Amino acid sequence: MRKHYIIFIFSLLLVLIVTDAEAQRRRNRAYRSYRPGGSGFNFSTMLHSLNFNVGYYRPSMDYWNNDSYLAELGKNYNGAMMFQGGIDLDIYDGFMIGVYGGTYSDKVEVYNQIGGIERTEKHRYRITPISIVGKYQFNFGNPRLRYRQRGLAKIHPYGGLAGNFNLITNTLVREFASPGRETQRSSNSGTTLTISGIIGVRYDLTPYVGIGTEFNYFVGGFNQTVNAGNGQTEDATISITGPFVSGTISVNLQPPRSRRRARYR
C-alpha cells in the first residue's frame, strides 16, 4: 500500500508541475494565437480539467462479511483507500464527459485450523474501475465582479452518473504453521459492470488549481466460485455496492479569460 501512495503522490506532483508550465506558456501566447473568425473543430478547446480523487471506499462484500467462514471467525472486509484520476471534457454549457481510472485494494487475514492443521489465510481483493462519467457543473456569480459574486464564481457544485467497467482480482495465500508444508497461493480474476451516482463541489484556489470533495455511490456485484473454508467450493454473489467519499484536486486545462476594461467617453 505504501508503494501505491508514493507512486500516486509522485504522479500528482509531476502532473501539477507540467500543467502549470503549460498553463503559463498558453497564457503568454493567448493574445498572439487569437484569430478572429477562426473555424473548425479544436479538441484542445474541449479539455476542461485533470482530476485526482483520494478517499475511502467501502463495498458491501456481503457474502464474505455475513455468510462465509470469515464472518464466523469475526473477520470482515471494512473498506480501504481508493485512488482515482481522470480527465473531463466540456460538451455544452456546463455538461461534461469524463474518462477515469482507479484502484482499490482490501485484505483480510485470519488464523484457521482444520483437521489439526494450523494455518494463516490472507484474502485480498483488488478492484480497478474504468469509468465513463457524465456530469453537470453549476457555475455561480461572475468572476469579473468583486466581492460576493466574484467569490461565488469560485464555487462549482456538480452531479452526475457513471458507468464503470471493473477488473476484479481475488488472491488467497495460505501459510502453514508446520515447517514441512509449503505456502499455497491461488488467484482468480474477472470483470463486472457497475453504475454510480456522483455529487460534489469544487473550490478554485487559483485560476488553474481547485480543491473539493466528492461522494460516489457504486451499485453492482459479481458472481464468483469461492473457497468455503473446509476444502469445498461454492458459488456466491458478492456485492460491491457502497459509498466512496473522497477529496479532490483539479487542474484547469483552460486558460482564464482576460478581463475587458470598460471604455468611457
Q: Say yes or no to pLDDT of 186 above 80.
A: yes
Instruction: Report d(CA 78, CA 168) in Å as an integer.
Output: 17
Q: Say yes or no to pLDDT of 25 above 70.
A: no
Q: 190: Cβ–Cβ under 8 A, 6 or more apart, which residues?
A: 168, 222, 224
Residue 230: pLDDT band (50, 70, 90) is: low
pLDDT, tens digit (0-9, with 9 covering 90-100), for 62-113 = 999 998 888 888 889 999 999 999 999 998 888 999 999 999 999 999 887 7
Residue 53: pLDDT band (50, 70, 90) is: very high
Q: For cell 481510472, what's the residue?
A: 101
Residue among 214, 238, 188 nearest 100 (CA): 214
Residue 43 has a pLDDT of 56
Domain ranges of the chain: 2-30+42-252
**At the topology level of CATH, where does 2-30+42-252 sit?**
Porin (2.40.160)
Residue among 207, 254, 208, 206 nearest 46 (CA): 254
Give percent of the chain above pLDDT 90: 48
Q: For cell 467617453, what's the residue?
A: 265
Residue 11 has a pLDDT of 53
pTM of the model: 0.75
What CA dihedral angle connects 21, 25, 27 and 28, to 10 degrees? 140
Helix, strand, or coil here: 96? strand
